[in-house]
Amino acid sequence: MALFDKFNKLANDRAELFPTGLSPFETRIEEVYSPTEARIGGRRVLLAGTNNYLGLTFAPECIEAAHKAVEREGTGTTGSRMANGSYGGHYALEAELGDFYRCNSVIVFSTGYLASLGLIGTLAGAQDIILLDADCHASIYDACRLSGAQIIRFRHNDVADLERRLQRLRERTENTLIVVEGLYSMLGDRAPLAEIAAVKRRHGGYLVVDEAHSLGVLGEHGRGLSEEAGVAAEVDFVLGTFSKSLGAVGGFLASNHPESEFLRYASRPYIFTASPSPSVVASTRAALQLLRNRPQLRERLWANATQLYHQLRALGYQLGPEPSPVVATLLGSRQQAVAFWQGLLERNIYVNLVLPPAAPGGYTLVRCSVSAAHTPAQIDTICEAFADLRAMLKRSDTPDSHRG
Ligand code: PMP
């Protein structure tokens, strides 16, 4: 088979699914008006699929901090921290995250994806075991593959399944990482973290929680599910991203294991890629301050999330299992999901289209992510478009009849 032949199926699938060529990959954001509005295809579109949970991408404090940093330190670091050194902002951001999480070791990575590779792919090796929730994000799967460790998946949010599998490992649990997410990125449900921490207490292992979607969203201070579930002290490693509630790009690892500092010297995704640019670091620091000082953003976010979830459910849609800023609407066939996504865009609503294998359990879905910056009227507008499209779902293929 020639090198490019492997793309034939992909090309055919795309031609069949997107005959007009309009897919999320081709969506061009022509102008961004605000955290919740942009021009797409010449029209003003309401953004309902951005992960911009706290709406901070246009916060004046973040923009000003980024401005100042770019003027003072330039547009980029042009290399990794190992080769080019660390800027003051890298250390300051790590110290501020350390203070926020009450962790004595924080390492900033260039993206959340790299943070996952940097921790899991480096800490676990061929002699080790990774027990991961089946619904974990692609970055975690890739990190597991990179590690060369034995990979064992347990059923999504099934604590008994996790316990059974951990029990079988016996004394090998001291070589085991248990990996879960705070809020799962596709269905928006929480991990049963208190129970998972109890299982870890009984059998051993090290617990990793990817708080990508829960930082700034869950917990009294916005630290995530570890805080909300009251088990922060039992979480060995927190992974996070700057690309969602903090409105920038980058990622981090926070831990109270002093040995995790050695990851700076051992982690290829830390050593062999350029460090975050000064403006990104500066806006992230400003966003973290806002996240800490403005709990009302979290309250607004949850009011919007709850409104959207309940209104969509009242329309008869099958949603993820609990109200959450990630609102997944489960659909039928892939064609139907594509038509639904396009239908929303025609009605000037932008959401995320998720097809298998990106969606867990064989689901097809469209995912809304709610922002504190949405107004209640905008949430109503989103729901009106969904109401308009309800008739499009044929009786035989209603969401309720579909479980992939
Ligand atoms: N973990 C989860 C659960 C995610 O959803 C994402 C991004 N979608 C990442 C990690 C990667 O984050 P980043 O965008 O910073 O690479």
Dist. CA 113 → ligand 1 center (Å): 6
Give one word for 188, left, alpha or beta, with left for phi > 0 and alpha for psi -120 to 50.
Answer: left
Instruction: Please choose from 137, 326, 369 the residue to mutate so as to test ligand 1's pocket, defined by most ligand atoms within 8 A of CB.
Output: 137
Let me know if 213 is a catalytic residue. yes
Dist. CA 208 → ligand 1 center (Å): 14
Burial class (CB in 10 A: 0-12, 13-18, 19+), 299: exposed
Average pLDDT estimate for 13-29: 89
- Cα 126 to chain centroid distance, Å, stands at 27
The predicted pLDDT at position 94 comes to 98
Let me know if 277 is a catalytic residue. no
Three-state DSSP state, 130: strand
Let me know if 80 is a catalytic residue. no
User: Could you identify the residue written with the tokens 């396009």?
Assistant: 342
What the block records as the tokens of 24 is 């999320």
Q: Please indicate whether residue 50, judged by its CB atom, sits closer than 6 Å to ligand 1.
A: no
Q: Whose CA is nearest to atom 12 of ligand 1?
A: 112
Angle at the Cα of 220 from the Cα atoms of 217 and 223, rounded to 5 degrees: 55
Dist. CA 140 → ligand 1 center (Å): 9
Dist. CA 142 → ligand 1 center (Å): 12
What the block records as the tokens of 187 is 């269905």
Burial class (CB in 10 A: 0-12, 13-18, 19+), 25: exposed
Query: Which residue spans within 118-276 are E strands per DSSP?
Result: 129-133, 150-154, 176-181, 206-210, 237-241, 251-255
* pTM, to two decimals: 0.96
The predicted pLDDT at position 357 comes to 82
Exactly one of 105, 116, 139, 185 is catalytic; name it.
185
Q: Please indicate whether residue 185, judged by its CB atom, sits closer than 6 Å to ligand 1.
A: yes
Same fold yes or no, 3-57+295-401 and 59-293: no
Residue 359: which pLDDT band, with cuts at 50, 70 and 90?
confident
CB 247 within 8 A of CB 286: no
CB 258 within 8 A of CB 103: no
CATH fold group of domain 3-57+295-401: Aspartate Aminotransferase, domain 1 (3.90.1150)
Can you tell me which atom of ligand 1 is nearest the CA of 116? 10
Q: Whose CA is nearest to atom 8 of ligand 1?
A: 185
pLDDT over 70 (residue 44): yes
d(CA 12, CA 127): 41
User: Could you identify the residue written with the tokens 């700076």?
Assistant: 264
Give one word for 21, left, alpha or beta, with left for phi > 0 and alpha for psi -120 to 50.
Answer: left
Angle at the Cα of 251 from the Cα atoms of 285 and 116, rounded to 5 degrees: 160
pLDDT over 60 (residue 395): no
The predicted pLDDT at position 394 comes to 54
Domain 59-293 listed as CATH 3.40.640.10: yes
Number of H helices, E strands in the chain: 15, 14
5-16 burial, b at 16+ Cβ within 10 Å, e below that, comes to eeeeeeeeeeee
The predicted pLDDT at position 398 comes to 47
Q: Which DSSP string do the residues of 137-179 spell out, in sequence order?
A: -HHHHHHHHHHT-EEEEE-TT-HHHHHHHHHHHGGGGGGEEEE
Q: How far is CA 301 from CA 33, 171, 296, 297, 304, in A?
A: 20, 44, 8, 6, 5
Exactly one of 90, 137, 203, 244 is catalytic; name it.
244
Q: Please indicate whether residue 137, judged by its CB atom, sits closer than 6 Å to ligand 1.
A: yes
Give one word for 106, left, alpha or beta, with left for phi > 0 and alpha for psi -120 to 50.
Answer: beta
Q: Please indicate whether residue 212, judged by its CB atom, sits closer than 6 Å to ligand 1.
A: yes
pLDDT over 70 (residue 400): no
Please confirm whether the linkage preceding 360 is cis (ω < 30° from 0): no
User: Which sequence spans correspond to the domains of the chain?
Assistant: 3-57+295-401, 59-293
pLDDT over 90 (residue 358): no
Dist. CA 339 → ligand 1 center (Å): 26
Can you tell me which atom of ligand 1 is nearest the CA of 137? 3
Dist. CA 112 → ligand 1 center (Å): 5
Average pLDDT estimate for 359-363: 82
pLDDT digits (tens, 9 = 90+) for 294-347: 999 999 999 999 999 999 999 999 999 999 999 999 999 999 999 999 999 999
Exactly one of 116, 213, 226, 283 is catalytic; name it.
213
Write 18-24 long-range contacts (CB < 8 A, 24+): 18/338, 20/342, 22/342, 22/345, 23/338, 23/353, 24/341, 24/352, 24/353
pLDDT over 90 (residue 361): no
Q: Please indicate whether residue 139, judged by its CB atom, sits closer than 6 Å to ligand 1.
A: yes
What the block records as the tokens of 10 is 């992909």
pLDDT digits (tens, 9 = 90+) for 270-290: 999 999 999 999 999 999 999
pLDDT digits (tens, 9 = 90+) for 62-90: 999 999 999 999 999 999 999 999 999 99
Q: Please indicate whether residue 225, judged by its CB atom, sits closer than 6 Å to ligand 1.
A: no
Q: What percent of the chain has pLDDT over 70?
A: 97
Q: Please indicate whether residue 210, judged by its CB atom, sits closer than 6 Å to ligand 1.
A: yes
263-272, 359-368, 393-402: range with lowest mean pLDDT: 393-402
pLDDT digits (tens, 9 = 90+) for 103-143: 999 999 999 999 999 999 999 999 999 999 999 999 999 99
Q: Which residues fall within 8 angstroms of residue 248, CB to CB, at 6 or more apart?
A: 62, 242, 280, 283, 284, 287
Average pLDDT estimate for 14-27: 88
